[in-house]
Chains A and B, each alone.
Chain A
């Protein structure tokens, strides 16, 4: 297998854009990525598009608008990890030598309100068993019961990510908040409050995966691994969310991380920064534990001791995370790749992590898919 590089990246801001369609969001991100990569028309041999709510042939629509169809275009759905899944497929094609350059894009315009998933049988929706934030709340409660994580620790994570988001012009929320504001915000599902949850929104991201390094600033995609849940790591087919079930079965995030570290030949101690799944504040703490960025059941202490802040040895979600950016499902994982590429190139402006050389991106989504990517320079 040959090395794989990030040839170029492009991003459309995450937010709400009532006057812009899904295709327009994708066009902006794809154009930026191709320009950054110096890829001309006909310069890529396949395209993968991550989207969940985009519907039939979303990637085709975006590339048709630019006259860039003709290559194989495959739409990829893996919940919150859709963009990561698309990236892992593209990376495999380049690593194997099948293609030299593959375009990956992620686009989404999320419906407003609570996320609706066709994963749930209609009767489960009728019965009230399809309330996504309630599942997040149960997972948060489990974390708090089985370790020393407190509501204050959850608030600290939200405060950290919102403080980081102030410096990200692509984020939806760019205002610092206090612990008191988080703990005083409305309860959505106990123990989770409004400011501990990310907002579903809209956005697009694109990444050119290439056998050739970017001329000026080479960034290597050292690993892009996708794993789904093992039997027993979720409560059942109807409850795909991991983090609620057995202690004795590795979670998809743990499995993807183990494989990614092995492929890249590094460990958590080698990382300079990470972007991790933070759909809710407890999810970030759990992610940090699962990725080995702090000890198991050490996430509460990690949050209390300033873990993940810009001053720490391993900044987490320097972009502001999903808590600040919002979450366009199909685009969120690729948004992390764009951010980390900028960081490794030294192009992240006021949120730059000094001397960043090794970075990790993590997403995990409905259907319990987890993607872990490792970037190096």
Chain B
């Protein structure tokens, strides 16, 4: 099956796994995601693209059971805020885990790029999500 990203410029596959495409502002030092043409903190032009992830910790989470408008993936699904390791950045994200019993604040999580739905042309549409990290 052919595949495509849900939108270009969100994520990529580095040699050692998936990464999110964030940007670092040289003027104010802040990092934001998704990478934007201007810094949302200070307005400076052309922040430097930087890859972040895959490891983070779950900060907030819930489960969405009713299909929100425009959503084309399966329900129920997990939804939350992840703080990425090694960078001052929090992202809103889907979670692969929709069982609240298996989620808790501070849970180590890892970035995954996975098919979310099949579009009208039959292509698998890929999006990012975070999964509980495998116990080490």
Contact = CB atoms under 8 A, between A and B. Distances in A.
A244 B81 contact: yes
A141 B79 CA distance: 12
B128 to A, nearest CB: 8
A95 B37 CA distance: 40
Interface residues of B, number: 37
Contact residues on A (Cβ < 8 Å of other chain), bracket: 35 or more
Contacts of A130: 68-71
A68 interface: no
B69 A116 contact: yes
Contacts of A190: 62-63, 100
A57 interface: no
A7 B32 CA distance: 47
A245 B90 contact: yes
Contacts of A116: 69-70
Scoring B36, B62, B79 by chain A CB atoms within 10 A of each residue's CB, the highest score goes to: B62
Contacts, number: 100
Contacts of A134: 62, 64, 68, 79
Interface string A279-294: 0000000000000000
A162 B55 CA distance: 44
Nearest to A230: B41
Given A127-B94, A128-B94, A141 B63 contact: no
A262 interface: no
Contact of A235 (B65, B68, B70, B90): B90
B100 A114 contact: no
Given A134-B79, A235-B90, A122 B36 contact: no
Nearest to A189: B62
> Shortest 7 CB-CB distances between A and B: which pairs?
A125-B70, A131-B68, A123-B7, A137-B62, A116-B69, A138-B60, A189-B62
Given A127-B73, A128-B79, 11 more contacts: A120-B70, A127-B127, A128-B77, A128-B94, A129-B79, A131-B79, A133-B64, A145-B105, A237-B36, A237-B40, A238-B34
12 contacts: A120-B70, A121-B7, A125-B69, A126-B72, A126-B117, A127-B116, A128-B73, A128-B77, A131-B68, A188-B66, A231-B40, A238-B92
